Amino acid sequence: MGGSFRGIEVEGLVREFGKGFRAVDGVDLRVEPGEIYGFLGPNGAGKSTTVLMLTTLLPPTAGVARVAGYDVVKQGAEVRSTIGAALQEAALDPFLTGREHLALQAAMHGIGRKERRGRAVELLERVGLTEAADRRVGGYSGGMKRRLDLALALVHGPRILFLDEPTTGLDPQSRSALWDEVSRLAKEGVTVFLTTQYLEEADALADRVGIIDHGKIVAEDTPDALKAEVGRSSIEARPADPRDLDDVARVLEQFGEPIAAANGSAAVRLEDKSQGLADVVRALDRQDLRVAGLELNEPSLDDVYLAKTGRKLEGAGDREEGTA
């Protein structure tokens, strides 16, 4: 069996809970082999429910999903043997050591005794836990737990990796260490399906991004294309002499409509994508206006998110489940 397509294909995926509440409401998506797909959305948007269905832990109410060519409903065992998953909140036993976790996980996958040992050493090295390998997980930091979680997901050499909010609650350093590791895996040809509520995470890692809101995908494309579609750049200028503020603002208005700016500065959203910083500098020069600061702000996924859902995602990642 096992169809020809080695990525992830989802068509009309639905999951209902309780009295007809649709946590996932007709999701279509396609993840190419070797791609990092960023699944972006706030808490409760349906990200984790989708991941649970794709990893065969939750049967869909309707729709079809194929992972590595295997149907998640009819070929659960095949799907599970092909994928690795690090689900939300590192699910670890505080009383076992890192090495013991890896040995157990490898044994559950039917990996032989000798190979188990070697695999554990290699993966511990890979996620930087060699020194902590024989300490109990109860004493690990949040970042160490997530890294062990990742190592556990890799024990059986999966071709597709599901990471459900792998960096939620981590400090910036641990976060970037995990990003590096995920990028490295993708370079080695592993397909990564990554859910996140951090826009910059999707921006930094993902080849393509899908934005999910209220159980539906509202946008899907490469980060650059999404940004280009919604956002126009903006320019903010701060005159060297505060008395010039009005004149500077007038010059800027030739390039687009004024938008809110910091005190003592003026800003506009650029109307024409072909115009840039250089044009503005020249125009200011012609009027003999000198500026102390000039900034070009590229559109971000924040703008995309705002445009697509009508809400800001700001700070969502810092909130606890359920309060967002």
Contacting positions for another protein (CB under 8 A)? 55-59, 72-74, 76-77, 80-81, 83-85, 87-89, 91-93, 95-96, 100, 103-105, 107-110, 136, 152, 156
d(CA 21, CA 270): 42
Kindly state the smallest distance separating residue 79's Cβ from another protein, in Å: 8
Q: Is 217 helix (H, G, I), strand (E, B) or coil?
A: strand
Phi, psi of 322 (to 5 degrees): 90, -15
Kindly state the smallest distance separating residue 90's Cβ from another protein, in Å: 8
Kindly state the smallest distance separating residue 119's Cβ from another protein, in Å: 14
d(CA 282, CA 113): 71
Residue written as tokens 């009508």? 310
Nearer to another protein, 85 or 205 (CB): 85
> How many angstroms from the chain centroid is the CA of residue 260?
29
Structure letter (DSSP) for residue 136: B
Nearer to another protein, 106 or 209 (CB): 106
Residue written as tokens 């609650």? 169
Nearer to another protein, 109 or 216 (CB): 109
Kindly state the smallest distance separating residue 315's Cβ from another protein, in Å: 25
Kindly state the smallest distance separating residue 191's Cβ from another protein, in Å: 16
Kindly state the smallest distance separating residue 78's Cβ from another protein, in Å: 10
Nearer to another protein, 9 or 302 (CB): 9
Instruction: Give the DSSP H or E segment for 39.
Output: strand 36-40
Put residue 280 in one of left, alpha, beta given phi > 0 → left and psi -120 to 50 → alpha. Answer: alpha
Nearer to another protein, 86 or 219 (CB): 86
Kindly state the smallest distance separating residue 64's Cβ from another protein, in Å: 12
Nearer to another protein, 72 or 186 (CB): 72
E strands in 198-290: 208-213, 216-221, 234-239, 256-259, 266-270
Nearer to another protein, 118 or 293 (CB): 118
> How many angstroms from the chain centroid is the CA of residue 110?
32
**Cβ within 8 Å of residue 3, ≥6 positions away:** 66, 69, 70
**Cβ within 8 Å of residue 162, ≥6 positions away:** 51, 54, 55, 83, 84, 85, 86, 87, 153, 193, 194
